[in-house]
């Protein structure tokens, strides 16, 4: 059995309208998480180091990065501040 690529699996799963709709609803959340992970790695910080700068535990950063933690705006602000970044929210 051949392993599927992420794109192949995604394309197959998106044939189900419910799965596609659910993914589209959480897409922006994952985009924010991905940007923060990229910035943390760019800065050369481990989750533990970032947690120390934020004033939280490494497990909180891990839960956030894995998408299993619904952060407050205050938490997000602390994280981006610790990364010397800015968080901008736009409503359309």
Instruction: Indicate if the pLDDT at residue 10 is higher than 80.
Output: no
Q: What are phi and psi of 9, to 5 degrees?
A: -65, -45
The sign of the dihedral angle between the CA atoms of 69, 73, 79, 83 is positive
For residue 91, the model assigns a pLDDT of: 77
pLDDT at 2 > cutoff 80: no
pTM confidence score: 0.70
Residue 1: per-residue pLDDT: 47
pLDDT digits (tens, 9 = 90+) for 22-70: 777 777 777 888 889 889 999 999 999 999 999 999 999 999 988 888 8
pLDDT at position 81 is 96
Pick the CATH number of 6-82 from 2.40.30.10, 1.10.260.40, 3.30.590.10, 3.40.50.2300: 1.10.260.40
């Amino acid at each position: 059995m051949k392993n599927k690529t992420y794109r192949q699996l995604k394309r197959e799963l998106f044939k189900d309208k419910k799965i596609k709709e659910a993914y589209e609803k959480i897409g922006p959340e994952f985009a924010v998480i991905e940007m923060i992970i990229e910035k943390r790695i760019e800065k050369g910080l481990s989750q533990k180091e970032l947690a120390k700068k934020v004033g939280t535990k490494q497990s909180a950063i891990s839960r956030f990065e894995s998408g299993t933690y619904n952060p407050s705006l205050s938490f997000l602000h602390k994280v981006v501040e610790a990364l010397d970044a800015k968080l901008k929210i736009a409503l359309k």
